[in-house]
Amino acid sequence: MRDIVEEMRARREKIRTEMGGIDKIERQHARGRLTVRERIDRLVDAGSFFEFGTFARSERPEAKDISPGDGKVSGLATVAGRPISVAGDDVTVFRGSSAYVASKRTHKALELAVDNGHPFVYLGETGGARLPDTLGAEGFTRIHPSVQTARRQRAVPMVTAILGDSFGGSSFEAAFSDVVIQARGACLAVSSPRVIEIATTEKVSLEDLGGVDVHLRKTGQIDIAADDEDHALALIRDVLSYLPQNRWSKPELLPCPPPAADEKLYDVVPTARNRAYDTHRVLARLVDPRPDGSPALLELKPEFGRSLITAFARLGGRSVGILASNPMYFAGALDPDCCDKGARFIALCDTFNLPLVFLQDVPGYIVGKQPEHERLLNKAIMFFEALALAEVPKVTVVLRKAFGLAYYALAGNAMGGDFLFAWPGAEISFMDPAVGVNVVHAGKLDGVEDPAAERARLIAEWSKDTTPYGAAGIMNLDEIIDPAETRPILVRALAECDRPAPGREYRKPLASWPTCL
């Protein structure tokens, strides 16, 4: 038996250290990239990785001896002491391509995550499907998109990091995921430039096809850009710190000193409704500080739908999801991309029991032919549906202006929120009074002696009805608050609305919403 065990140990050590070949490991390092096992070691707690499937290999006889692990690595580990399942592509074996045995190995990791109620992390870098295994009809029918992953219904958080050029399998994992991180220099796409050129004659570079900037700014298919692999792995750990283990538990409540009033907020938001400012400055003063003093804030899709900020944050030690208008872009008006971004974020936070905090400074939805042709109507209603179906606590603060249907989309009154507050200088109305006067009195002031003065008078008259005191007077607003006390009030409101997580058998409606809206 000792001899048999020694042989097993030697085979295992060779597979885990030499992988698809020392030369291929060196080639990966020469590109400035880590191997999948090095990535896992840097991600998880030291010594915690328990690998399974080590002796997997291709089912094709001619490839059995040259496919250690069959191009994938999977196992269990801990991050910050919390259990996770982790899987990734091994590019030293057939470029990490997907095949029948390889797929079984990664699916096993997801099964364990769902069955045992802990997050699933995927580290992606793959050449796509392995053609010798899939090109024939018989082999093709054994390798299919993962119905198991499609049926996850957000039972557990799923995070994917794209760390190299990824086509096919790991790209699909990213689209299934709750949070997607992509390292600069990596490509995320369905098909490679070579396949595209052969099929269509179109020539495109990796960067133009699926680089970080494409997905961060145009498609919205990633949530966070990483500077490099180590940064991406640190971001995975940060994302997991805001989320619970599963949808039937809650994020950890961290110790936090009592929040204090902050009069510097008086100077952050201009009183004039048309002056732009960056809402990130407000958020930095509202959320908890990290141990290093920086704000406990992790923004998702920061360059997509930029007039709406979506971010994980901590308030009073509690993980929350923040949706905040940003007047730096389109004056804070919502567009179709904002609707996609907001609906997806609400579904994510609601499923994993993160309360939602809305900060409003919104003039309405963007109008025009282009947004209408980009399906603004359908996307706006989808955003409404997400808000209406969300069951977590919802707290809203109107900072400056809240006009039109966008006021309701960001949890205005009668939208199922727990608390609705407003700063004393805020305006709440169907339309900006200046716009309303121009619409109603278009062409009617031409004969007036001083049209500009009359227009100003009408705007001032109409503006009297937009102050928050009217809404507060009929209890369509819970309280008008001192801006300096916003943080203490939010922390108190969230503590008062603290609700237990639902049981494992209960599935929230938004848990079944697609991850890729």
Of 299, 253, 246, give the one whose Cα is nearest residue 118.
Answer: 246
**Side-chain half-sphere of 427: how many Cα atoms within 13 Å?**
23
Q: Measured between alpha carbons, how far is 74 from 72 in angstroms, rounded to an integer?
A: 7
Q: What is the largest CA-CA distance in the chain?
A: 106
Q: What is the pLDDT of residue 135?
A: 67
Phi then psi for 79, rounded to 5 degrees?
Answer: -130, 120
C-beta atoms surrounding 15 within 10 Å? 19
The pLDDT tens digits of the residues spanning 399-443 come to 999 999 999 999 999 999 999 999 999 999 988 777 776 777 667
Radius of gyration of the chain (CA): 26
Q: What is the pLDDT of residue 455?
A: 76
Q: What is the pLDDT of residue 138?
A: 64
- Split the chain (517 residues) into runs of 10 and give each run's mean pLDDT: 95 96 96 96 98 93 90 97 97 89 92 97 90 67 77 95 92 95 96 90 94 96 97 98 98 94 95 92 97 96 98 98 97 96 98 98 94 95 97 98 95 96 94 75 72 78 82 93 98 96 94 89
Q: What is the pLDDT of residue 146?
A: 78
Structure pTM? 0.94
The CATH homologous superfamily for domain 2-242 is 2-enoyl-CoA Hydratase; Chain A, domain 1 (3.90.226.10)
Q: What is the pLDDT of residue 137?
A: 56
Q: Measured between alpha carbons, how far is 463 from 435 in angstroms, rounded to an integer?
A: 11
Q: Are 106 and 56 in contact (CB under 8 A)?
A: no
Of 152, 216, 144, 67, give the one whose Cα is nearest residue 348.
Answer: 152
Q: What is the pLDDT of residue 436?
A: 74
User: 16, exposed or middle or buried, with CB in 10 Å at 0-12, 13-18, 19+?
Assistant: middle
Considering the domain 263-426+467-496, what is its CATH architecture? Alpha-Beta Complex (3.90)
Q: What is the pLDDT of residue 139?
A: 64
Indicate the domain borders of the chain: 2-242, 263-426+467-496, 431-466
